[in-house]
Structure 1
Protein backbone atom coordinates (compact mmCIF):
# COMPACT_ATOMS: atom_id res chain seq x y z
CA UNK A 1 0.00 0.00 0.00
CA UNK A 2 1.40 3.38 -1.01
CA UNK A 3 1.70 5.89 1.82
CA UNK A 4 -0.10 8.97 0.52
CA UNK A 5 -0.01 12.11 2.66
CA UNK A 6 -2.24 14.95 1.58
CA UNK A 7 -1.52 16.63 -1.72
CA UNK A 8 -1.17 19.97 0.05
CA UNK A 9 1.59 18.73 2.36
CA UNK A 10 3.34 16.95 -0.49
CA UNK A 11 3.43 20.10 -2.62
CA UNK A 12 5.61 21.96 -0.12
CA UNK A 13 8.24 19.21 -0.17
CA UNK A 14 8.01 18.97 -3.97
CA UNK A 15 8.65 22.70 -4.42
CA UNK A 16 11.58 22.67 -2.01
CA UNK A 17 13.24 19.90 -4.04
CA UNK A 18 14.05 22.50 -6.70
CA UNK A 19 16.12 24.69 -4.34
CA UNK A 20 18.67 24.00 -5.73
CA UNK A 21 18.22 21.61 -8.64
CA UNK A 22 20.15 20.34 -11.65
CA UNK A 23 22.25 22.83 -13.59
CA UNK A 24 22.78 22.97 -17.34
CA UNK A 25 26.38 21.86 -16.87
CA UNK A 26 25.57 18.65 -14.96
CA UNK A 27 26.80 15.52 -16.73
CA UNK A 28 24.30 12.91 -17.90
CA UNK A 29 25.74 10.24 -15.61
CA UNK A 30 24.98 12.50 -12.64
CA UNK A 31 21.32 12.92 -13.49
CA UNK A 32 18.28 11.18 -12.09
CA UNK A 33 15.89 10.61 -14.97
CA UNK A 34 12.31 9.63 -14.11
CA UNK A 35 11.01 7.68 -17.10
CA UNK A 36 7.25 8.06 -17.01
CA UNK A 37 4.16 6.75 -18.76
CA UNK A 38 0.47 7.31 -18.08
CA UNK A 39 -2.51 5.31 -19.28
CA UNK A 40 -5.60 7.48 -19.67
CA UNK A 41 -9.28 7.26 -20.55
CA UNK A 42 -8.65 9.40 -23.66
CA UNK A 43 -6.53 12.12 -25.21
CA UNK A 44 -8.30 15.29 -24.02
CA UNK A 45 -6.81 16.57 -20.72
CA UNK A 46 -9.99 18.59 -20.03
CA UNK A 47 -12.35 15.64 -20.30
CA UNK A 48 -10.33 12.52 -19.72
CA UNK A 49 -8.49 11.17 -16.70
CA UNK A 50 -5.34 9.26 -15.79
CA UNK A 51 -6.01 5.64 -14.85
CA UNK A 52 -2.47 4.43 -14.16
CA UNK A 53 1.05 5.79 -13.81
CA UNK A 54 4.27 3.86 -14.19
CA UNK A 55 7.76 5.25 -13.68
CA UNK A 56 11.28 3.95 -13.27
CA UNK A 57 14.49 5.87 -12.62
CA UNK A 58 17.63 5.91 -14.72
CA UNK A 59 20.68 7.07 -12.80
CA UNK A 60 24.42 6.57 -13.16
CA UNK A 61 23.76 5.16 -16.61
CA UNK A 62 21.57 2.31 -15.34
CA UNK A 63 17.93 1.49 -14.75
CA UNK A 64 17.31 1.47 -11.00
CA UNK A 65 14.48 -0.97 -10.32
CA UNK A 66 14.55 -0.06 -6.64
CA UNK A 67 13.53 3.47 -7.64
CA UNK A 68 10.18 3.02 -9.36
CA UNK A 69 6.51 3.88 -9.02
CA UNK A 70 3.31 2.09 -10.00
CA UNK A 71 0.00 3.78 -9.26
CA UNK A 72 -3.52 2.67 -10.16
CA UNK A 73 -6.32 5.25 -10.00
CA UNK A 74 -10.06 4.76 -9.70
CA UNK A 75 -11.79 4.77 -13.07
CA UNK A 76 -15.05 6.72 -13.03
CA UNK A 77 -16.32 5.43 -16.38
CA UNK A 78 -15.11 3.07 -19.08
CA UNK A 79 -14.10 4.32 -22.52
CA UNK A 80 -12.74 2.81 -25.72
CA UNK A 81 -9.23 3.42 -24.35
CA UNK A 82 -9.85 1.01 -21.48
CA UNK A 83 -10.10 -1.79 -24.05
CA UNK A 84 -6.45 -1.10 -24.95
CA UNK A 85 -4.88 -0.96 -21.50
CA UNK A 86 -7.45 -3.23 -19.85
CA UNK A 87 -8.06 -1.05 -16.78
CA UNK A 88 -11.81 -0.81 -16.14
CA UNK A 89 -14.06 0.74 -13.54
CA UNK A 90 -14.87 -2.58 -11.85
CA UNK A 91 -11.17 -3.41 -11.48
CA UNK A 92 -10.23 -0.15 -9.74
CA UNK A 93 -12.76 0.09 -6.93
CA UNK A 94 -10.00 -0.08 -4.31
CA UNK A 95 -7.43 2.00 -6.19
CA UNK A 96 -6.22 5.48 -5.22
CA UNK A 97 -8.24 8.57 -5.85
CA UNK A 98 -6.72 11.28 -8.03
CA UNK A 99 -5.33 13.47 -5.25
CA UNK A 100 -3.68 10.48 -3.56
CA UNK A 101 -2.10 9.43 -6.85
CA UNK A 102 -0.79 12.93 -7.53
CA UNK A 103 0.70 13.06 -4.04
CA UNK A 104 2.50 9.75 -4.63
CA UNK A 105 3.75 10.95 -8.01
CA UNK A 106 5.15 14.26 -6.73
CA UNK A 107 6.90 12.53 -3.86
CA UNK A 108 8.47 10.12 -6.32
CA UNK A 109 9.53 12.72 -8.89
CA UNK A 110 11.25 15.27 -6.72
CA UNK A 111 13.38 17.32 -9.12
CA UNK A 112 14.13 14.39 -11.43
CA UNK A 113 14.21 15.03 -15.16
CA UNK A 114 11.01 13.55 -16.59
CA UNK A 115 11.45 11.39 -19.69
CA UNK A 116 8.79 9.81 -21.85
CA UNK A 117 7.84 8.91 -25.39
CA UNK A 118 5.43 11.61 -26.63
CA UNK A 119 5.72 12.94 -23.09
CA UNK A 120 3.73 16.10 -23.84
CA UNK A 121 0.48 14.11 -23.52
CA UNK A 122 1.46 12.70 -20.12
CA UNK A 123 2.54 16.14 -18.86
CA UNK A 124 -0.69 17.73 -20.07
CA UNK A 125 -2.77 15.09 -18.29
CA UNK A 126 -0.81 15.50 -15.04
CA UNK A 127 -0.96 19.31 -15.19
CA UNK A 128 -4.72 19.19 -15.83
CA UNK A 129 -5.13 16.90 -12.82
CA UNK A 130 -3.08 19.25 -10.63
CA UNK A 131 -5.15 22.21 -11.84
CA UNK A 132 -8.31 20.54 -10.56
CA UNK A 133 -6.88 20.98 -7.05
CA UNK A 134 -5.80 24.58 -7.62
CA UNK A 135 -2.10 23.73 -7.67
CA UNK A 136 0.71 24.78 -9.97
CA UNK A 137 2.07 22.81 -12.90
CA UNK A 138 4.95 20.34 -12.80
CA UNK A 139 8.29 22.11 -12.42
CA UNK A 140 10.51 19.32 -13.71
CA UNK A 141 12.57 19.63 -16.84
CA UNK A 142 11.53 17.04 -19.38
CA UNK A 143 12.77 15.13 -22.38
CA UNK A 144 10.88 13.38 -25.18
CA UNK A 145 12.69 10.30 -26.49
CA UNK A 146 11.06 10.70 -29.90
CA UNK A 147 12.24 14.29 -30.26
CA UNK A 148 15.73 13.39 -29.03
CA UNK A 149 15.93 10.57 -31.58
CA UNK A 150 14.89 12.94 -34.36
CA UNK A 151 17.48 15.52 -33.29
CA UNK A 152 20.23 12.89 -33.26
CA UNK A 153 19.19 11.64 -36.70
CA UNK A 154 19.28 15.17 -38.12
CA UNK A 155 22.79 15.67 -36.71
CA UNK A 156 24.03 12.40 -38.24
CA UNK A 157 24.63 10.73 -34.88
CA UNK A 158 23.44 7.36 -36.20
CA UNK A 159 25.45 7.57 -39.41
CA UNK A 160 24.53 8.73 -42.91
CA UNK A 161 21.75 6.14 -43.41
CA UNK A 162 20.42 5.07 -40.02
CA UNK A 163 17.41 3.20 -41.42
CA UNK A 164 15.25 4.64 -38.69
CA UNK A 165 12.00 5.96 -40.11
CA UNK A 166 9.45 4.75 -37.55
CA UNK A 167 9.86 6.90 -34.44
CA UNK A 168 7.02 5.26 -32.53
CA UNK A 169 7.82 3.37 -29.34
CA UNK A 170 7.48 0.08 -31.21
CA UNK A 171 9.68 1.42 -34.03
CA UNK A 172 12.46 2.41 -31.63
CA UNK A 173 12.23 -0.95 -29.88
CA UNK A 174 12.76 -2.68 -33.23
CA UNK A 175 15.66 -0.40 -34.14
CA UNK A 176 17.47 -1.01 -30.83
CA UNK A 177 16.62 -4.73 -30.67
CA UNK A 178 14.37 -4.41 -27.60
CA UNK A 179 11.60 -6.99 -27.15
CA UNK A 180 8.41 -4.95 -26.51
CA UNK A 181 7.21 -6.90 -23.47
CA UNK A 182 4.20 -5.68 -21.46
CA UNK A 183 3.17 -3.03 -24.02
CA UNK A 184 0.22 -0.71 -23.37
CA UNK A 185 0.66 -0.78 -19.62
CA UNK A 186 2.13 2.22 -17.82
CA UNK A 187 4.92 0.29 -16.01
CA UNK A 188 5.70 -1.75 -19.13
CA UNK A 189 5.91 1.23 -21.46
CA UNK A 190 7.96 3.19 -18.93
CA UNK A 191 10.48 0.35 -18.70
CA UNK A 192 10.72 0.03 -22.50
CA UNK A 193 11.26 3.78 -22.76
CA UNK A 194 13.98 3.56 -20.11
CA UNK A 195 15.77 0.91 -22.19
CA UNK A 196 15.55 3.21 -25.21
CA UNK A 197 16.79 6.16 -23.14
CA UNK A 198 19.94 4.26 -22.13
CA UNK A 199 20.81 3.74 -25.78
CA UNK A 200 20.03 7.33 -26.70
CA UNK A 201 22.16 8.66 -23.83
CA UNK A 202 25.17 6.77 -25.15
CA UNK A 203 24.64 8.13 -28.66
CA UNK A 204 24.05 11.64 -27.31
CA UNK A 205 27.25 11.59 -25.24
CA UNK A 206 29.29 10.54 -28.28
CA UNK A 207 27.68 13.37 -30.26
CA UNK A 208 28.65 16.18 -27.90
CA UNK A 209 25.48 16.14 -25.83
CA UNK A 210 27.09 14.98 -22.59
CA UNK A 211 25.46 17.57 -20.30
CA UNK A 212 21.85 18.33 -19.40
CA UNK A 213 21.84 21.45 -21.58
CA UNK A 214 23.32 19.47 -24.45
CA UNK A 215 20.75 16.73 -24.10
CA UNK A 216 17.84 19.17 -24.13
CA UNK A 217 19.04 21.47 -26.90
CA UNK A 218 17.16 21.46 -30.22
CA UNK A 219 18.83 20.02 -33.32
CA UNK A 220 21.46 22.08 -35.07
CA UNK A 221 20.13 23.96 -38.12
CA UNK A 222 21.03 22.62 -41.51
CA UNK A 223 23.60 24.65 -43.43
CA UNK A 224 21.00 25.90 -45.95
CA UNK A 225 18.79 27.11 -43.08
CA UNK A 226 21.39 29.27 -41.35
CA UNK A 227 21.06 32.17 -43.76
CA UNK A 228 17.30 32.09 -44.14
Structure 2
Protein backbone atom coordinates (compact mmCIF):
# COMPACT_ATOMS: atom_id res chain seq x y z
CA UNK A 1 0.00 0.00 0.00
CA UNK A 2 1.28 3.46 -0.90
CA UNK A 3 2.23 5.72 2.01
CA UNK A 4 -0.32 8.28 0.81
CA UNK A 5 -3.09 5.92 -0.34
CA UNK A 6 -5.18 6.84 2.69
CA UNK A 7 -5.41 10.38 1.32
CA UNK A 8 -7.30 9.24 -1.79
CA UNK A 9 -11.11 9.41 -1.56
CA UNK A 10 -12.81 6.01 -1.24
CA UNK A 11 -15.36 6.87 -3.93
CA UNK A 12 -16.04 9.33 -6.75
CA UNK A 13 -16.00 13.04 -5.94
CA UNK A 14 -19.58 14.32 -6.29
CA UNK A 15 -21.03 17.79 -6.02
CA UNK A 16 -23.28 18.57 -3.07
CA UNK A 17 -26.34 18.53 -5.35
CA UNK A 18 -25.55 15.07 -6.70
CA UNK A 19 -24.85 13.75 -3.20
CA UNK A 20 -28.18 15.08 -1.96
CA UNK A 21 -30.07 13.54 -4.87
CA UNK A 22 -28.23 10.27 -4.37
CA UNK A 23 -29.29 10.15 -0.73
CA UNK A 24 -32.94 10.59 -1.73
CA UNK A 25 -33.08 7.69 -4.19
CA UNK A 26 -35.78 5.24 -3.10
CA UNK A 27 -34.88 1.78 -1.85
CA UNK A 28 -35.44 -0.94 -4.43
CA UNK A 29 -38.77 -2.69 -3.90
CA UNK A 30 -39.04 -6.38 -3.07
CA UNK A 31 -40.78 -8.65 -5.63
CA UNK A 32 -44.43 -7.70 -5.41
CA UNK A 33 -47.61 -9.75 -5.09
CA UNK A 34 -49.59 -7.11 -6.99
CA UNK A 35 -50.82 -8.05 -10.45
CA UNK A 36 -48.51 -7.97 -13.44
CA UNK A 37 -50.75 -5.25 -14.85
CA UNK A 38 -50.52 -3.07 -11.73
CA UNK A 39 -46.74 -3.29 -11.49
CA UNK A 40 -44.67 -0.45 -12.93
CA UNK A 41 -41.82 -1.98 -14.96
CA UNK A 42 -38.79 -0.19 -16.36
CA UNK A 43 -37.61 -1.84 -19.58
CA UNK A 44 -33.91 -1.16 -20.11
CA UNK A 45 -31.38 -1.48 -22.91
CA UNK A 46 -27.76 -0.38 -22.81
CA UNK A 47 -25.30 0.24 -25.60
CA UNK A 48 -21.71 -0.39 -24.56
CA UNK A 49 -18.22 -0.17 -26.00
CA UNK A 50 -18.14 -3.98 -26.18
CA UNK A 51 -19.11 -7.16 -24.36
CA UNK A 52 -16.26 -7.39 -21.85
CA UNK A 53 -17.93 -7.19 -18.43
CA UNK A 54 -14.83 -5.86 -16.71
CA UNK A 55 -13.34 -3.46 -19.26
CA UNK A 56 -16.07 -2.11 -21.53
CA UNK A 57 -18.20 0.88 -20.64
CA UNK A 58 -21.77 2.09 -20.99
CA UNK A 59 -22.26 4.43 -23.94
CA UNK A 60 -26.01 5.00 -23.87
CA UNK A 61 -29.09 4.16 -21.83
CA UNK A 62 -32.56 3.68 -23.28
CA UNK A 63 -35.64 2.82 -21.25
CA UNK A 64 -39.41 2.80 -21.44
CA UNK A 65 -42.06 2.11 -18.82
CA UNK A 66 -44.81 -0.50 -18.79
CA UNK A 67 -47.63 0.55 -16.48
CA UNK A 68 -51.32 -0.33 -16.30
CA UNK A 69 -50.73 -3.08 -18.83
CA UNK A 70 -49.36 -0.84 -21.58
CA UNK A 71 -46.26 1.02 -22.68
CA UNK A 72 -46.48 4.53 -21.24
CA UNK A 73 -44.92 6.73 -23.91
CA UNK A 74 -44.96 9.69 -21.52
CA UNK A 75 -42.29 7.88 -19.50
CA UNK A 76 -39.21 7.37 -21.65
CA UNK A 77 -35.52 7.80 -20.93
CA UNK A 78 -32.60 8.26 -23.31
CA UNK A 79 -29.07 9.46 -22.60
CA UNK A 80 -25.72 9.20 -24.35
CA UNK A 81 -22.82 9.24 -21.89
CA UNK A 82 -19.60 11.11 -22.47
CA UNK A 83 -16.73 8.65 -22.70
CA UNK A 84 -13.30 10.24 -22.84
CA UNK A 85 -10.39 8.58 -24.61
CA UNK A 86 -12.73 6.07 -26.21
CA UNK A 87 -11.35 3.59 -28.70
CA UNK A 88 -14.21 2.85 -31.06
CA UNK A 89 -14.90 -0.85 -31.53
CA UNK A 90 -17.19 -2.86 -33.84
CA UNK A 91 -20.18 -2.39 -31.51
CA UNK A 92 -20.06 1.35 -32.11
CA UNK A 93 -20.56 0.71 -35.81
CA UNK A 94 -23.66 -1.36 -35.00
CA UNK A 95 -25.43 1.12 -32.75
CA UNK A 96 -24.22 4.15 -34.68
CA UNK A 97 -22.76 6.19 -31.84
CA UNK A 98 -19.83 8.03 -33.32
CA UNK A 99 -17.23 10.24 -31.64
CA UNK A 100 -19.23 13.46 -32.06
CA UNK A 101 -22.35 11.99 -30.40
CA UNK A 102 -20.30 10.61 -27.51
CA UNK A 103 -18.38 13.87 -27.07
CA UNK A 104 -21.69 15.76 -26.91
CA UNK A 105 -23.15 13.31 -24.40
CA UNK A 106 -24.12 13.87 -20.79
CA UNK A 107 -21.79 13.74 -17.82
CA UNK A 108 -21.94 10.05 -16.77
CA UNK A 109 -22.63 10.74 -13.09
CA UNK A 110 -25.47 13.13 -13.97
CA UNK A 111 -26.95 10.77 -16.56
CA UNK A 112 -26.78 7.72 -14.30
CA UNK A 113 -28.40 9.59 -11.41
CA UNK A 114 -31.13 10.86 -13.74
CA UNK A 115 -31.75 7.26 -14.76
CA UNK A 116 -31.97 5.92 -11.22
CA UNK A 117 -34.47 8.66 -10.37
CA UNK A 118 -36.43 7.55 -13.45
CA UNK A 119 -36.33 3.91 -12.26
CA UNK A 120 -37.42 4.74 -8.72
CA UNK A 121 -38.09 1.53 -6.82
CA UNK A 122 -39.41 -0.37 -9.87
CA UNK A 123 -38.16 -3.75 -11.08
CA UNK A 124 -36.22 -3.77 -14.35
CA UNK A 125 -36.80 -5.88 -17.44
CA UNK A 126 -34.11 -6.39 -20.07
CA UNK A 127 -33.18 -8.89 -22.75
CA UNK A 128 -30.11 -10.74 -21.51
CA UNK A 129 -30.57 -8.85 -18.27
CA UNK A 130 -27.44 -10.13 -16.44
CA UNK A 131 -25.26 -8.20 -18.89
CA UNK A 132 -27.20 -4.95 -18.49
CA UNK A 133 -27.39 -5.43 -14.72
CA UNK A 134 -23.63 -5.94 -14.43
CA UNK A 135 -22.67 -3.08 -16.73
CA UNK A 136 -25.12 -0.66 -15.14
CA UNK A 137 -24.06 -1.72 -11.65
CA UNK A 138 -20.40 -1.17 -12.47
CA UNK A 139 -21.06 2.24 -13.99
CA UNK A 140 -23.11 3.30 -10.94
CA UNK A 141 -20.36 2.20 -8.60
CA UNK A 142 -17.61 3.90 -10.60
CA UNK A 143 -19.38 7.22 -11.15
CA UNK A 144 -21.66 7.53 -8.12
CA UNK A 145 -20.40 5.07 -5.53
CA UNK A 146 -23.92 3.58 -5.64
CA UNK A 147 -24.73 -0.11 -5.22
CA UNK A 148 -27.42 -1.35 -7.57
CA UNK A 149 -29.91 -3.57 -5.75
CA UNK A 150 -32.97 -3.48 -8.00
CA UNK A 151 -34.69 -6.63 -9.17
CA UNK A 152 -33.84 -7.54 -12.78
CA UNK A 153 -35.87 -10.05 -14.78
CA UNK A 154 -34.53 -11.45 -18.02
CA UNK A 155 -36.95 -11.47 -20.95
CA UNK A 156 -34.60 -13.99 -22.60
CA UNK A 157 -35.58 -16.42 -19.80
CA UNK A 158 -39.26 -15.48 -19.59
CA UNK A 159 -39.86 -16.12 -23.31
CA UNK A 160 -38.81 -19.80 -23.48
CA UNK A 161 -40.37 -20.46 -20.06
CA UNK A 162 -43.79 -19.29 -21.22
CA UNK A 163 -43.45 -20.44 -24.84
CA UNK A 164 -41.90 -23.93 -24.68
CA UNK A 165 -43.45 -24.73 -28.07
CA UNK A 166 -41.29 -22.12 -29.78
CA UNK A 167 -38.64 -23.90 -31.89
CA UNK A 168 -35.91 -21.54 -30.70
CA UNK A 169 -33.48 -21.79 -27.79
CA UNK A 170 -30.67 -19.46 -26.78
CA UNK A 171 -32.36 -17.01 -29.14
CA UNK A 172 -31.69 -13.33 -29.47
CA UNK A 173 -34.21 -10.53 -29.41
CA UNK A 174 -34.52 -10.55 -33.21
CA UNK A 175 -35.54 -14.23 -33.23
CA UNK A 176 -38.32 -13.66 -30.69
CA UNK A 177 -39.51 -10.55 -32.54
CA UNK A 178 -39.76 -12.65 -35.72
CA UNK A 179 -41.48 -15.54 -33.95
CA UNK A 180 -44.19 -13.28 -32.54
CA UNK A 181 -44.38 -11.36 -35.85
CA UNK A 182 -43.87 -8.02 -34.15
CA UNK A 183 -43.54 -5.00 -36.41
CA UNK A 184 -40.34 -3.31 -35.26
CA UNK A 185 -39.14 -0.49 -37.49
CA UNK A 186 -35.86 0.31 -35.78
CA UNK A 187 -33.26 -1.75 -33.90
CA UNK A 188 -29.75 -1.60 -32.50
CA UNK A 189 -29.92 1.56 -30.51
CA UNK A 190 -30.78 1.64 -26.83
CA UNK A 191 -34.19 3.34 -27.04
CA UNK A 192 -35.42 1.27 -29.98
CA UNK A 193 -34.26 -1.99 -28.41
CA UNK A 194 -35.89 -1.08 -25.08
CA UNK A 195 -39.17 -0.42 -26.90
CA UNK A 196 -38.95 -3.73 -28.80
CA UNK A 197 -38.24 -5.55 -25.53
CA UNK A 198 -41.24 -3.86 -23.91
CA UNK A 199 -43.53 -4.95 -26.76
CA UNK A 200 -42.29 -8.52 -26.36
CA UNK A 201 -42.76 -8.32 -22.58
CA UNK A 202 -46.42 -7.30 -22.95
CA UNK A 203 -47.10 -10.40 -25.04
CA UNK A 204 -45.31 -12.55 -22.47
CA UNK A 205 -47.30 -11.04 -19.58
CA UNK A 206 -50.47 -12.06 -21.40
CA UNK A 207 -49.08 -15.59 -21.76
CA UNK A 208 -48.16 -15.57 -18.07
CA UNK A 209 -51.71 -14.76 -17.00
CA UNK A 210 -53.01 -17.59 -19.21
CA UNK A 211 -50.63 -19.89 -17.30
CA UNK A 212 -51.89 -18.67 -13.91
CA UNK A 213 -48.89 -16.48 -13.21
CA UNK A 214 -50.42 -13.28 -11.92
CA UNK A 215 -47.79 -11.33 -9.97
CA UNK A 216 -44.14 -10.28 -10.33
CA UNK A 217 -43.28 -12.53 -7.38
CA UNK A 218 -44.91 -15.56 -9.03
CA UNK A 219 -43.15 -14.79 -12.29
CA UNK A 220 -39.78 -14.51 -10.54
CA UNK A 221 -40.35 -17.82 -8.75
CA UNK A 222 -41.32 -19.59 -11.97
CA UNK A 223 -38.26 -18.21 -13.79
CA UNK A 224 -35.98 -19.42 -11.00
CA UNK A 225 -37.56 -22.88 -11.05
CA UNK A 226 -37.21 -23.04 -14.84
CA UNK A 227 -33.55 -22.03 -14.70
CA UNK A 228 -32.83 -24.72 -12.08
CA UNK A 229 -34.40 -27.32 -14.36
CA UNK A 230 -32.34 -26.08 -17.29
CA UNK A 231 -29.14 -26.49 -15.26
CA UNK A 232 -30.05 -29.91 -13.88
CA UNK A 233 -28.07 -32.76 -15.46
CA UNK A 234 -30.02 -35.02 -17.79
CA UNK A 235 -29.61 -38.78 -17.54
- Shorter-chain TM band: 0.7 to 0.9
Tell me how far 1:22 sits from its aligned partner. Answer: 5.1
1:122-144, CA deviations, whole angstroms, 9 ceiling, x for partnerless residues?
Answer: 11111111221462322211111
Q: Does 1:216 align with 2:220?
A: yes
Counterpart-to-counterpart distance in 2, 1:67 and 1:134: 24
Mind listing any 5+ residue stretches in structure 1 that lack a counterpart?
155-160
TM (norm. structure 2) is: 0.82
Mind listing any 5+ residue stretches in structure 2 that lack a counterpart?
1-15
Give the corresponding residue for 1:11.
22
Is residue 6–residue 100 contact of structure 1 (8 Å, CA) maintained in 2? no
Cα–Cα, structure 1 residues 47 and 213, in superposed 2: closer, same or farther, change >3 Å? same
Tell me how far 1:166 sits from its aligned partner. Answer: 6.1
Tell me how far 1:10 sits from its aligned partner. Answer: 2.6
Counterpart-to-counterpart distance in 2, 1:66 and 1:109: 14
Tell me how far 1:89 sits from its aligned partner. Answer: 1.8
Tell me how far 1:185 sits from its aligned partner. Answer: 0.3
Give the corresponding residue for 1:170.
174
1:35-64, CA deviations, whole angstroms, 9 ceiling, x for partnerless residues?
Answer: 000000011233211111100000111000
Taking the TM superposition and a 5 Å limit, the aligned residue runs for 1:26-105 are: 26-76=34-84, 77=86, 78-105=88-115
Give the corresponding residue for 1:157.
none
* Aligned residues: CA RMSD: 2.3
Q: Which shows bigger deviation, 99-108 or 131-140?
A: 131-140
* Structure 1 residue matching 2:24: 3-state secondary structure: helix
Q: Does 1:130 align with 2:140?
A: yes
Counterpart-to-counterpart distance in 2, 1:163 and 1:128: 35
Tell me the number of residue pairs that the alignment of Structure 1 and Structure 2 aligns. 212
Give the corresponding residue for 1:110.
120
TM (norm. structure 1) is: 0.84
Is residue 75–residue 89 contact of structure 1 (8 Å, CA) maintained in 2? no
Tell me how far 1:162 sits from its aligned partner. Answer: 3.5
Q: Does 1:207 align with 2:207?
A: no
Tell me how far 1:165 sits from its aligned partner. Answer: 4.1
Q: Does 1:185 align with 2:195?
A: no
Counterpart-to-counterpart distance in 2, 1:93 and 1:175: 38
Is residue 116–residue 193 contact of structure 1 (8 Å, CA) maintained in 2? yes
Give the corresponding residue for 2:199.
195
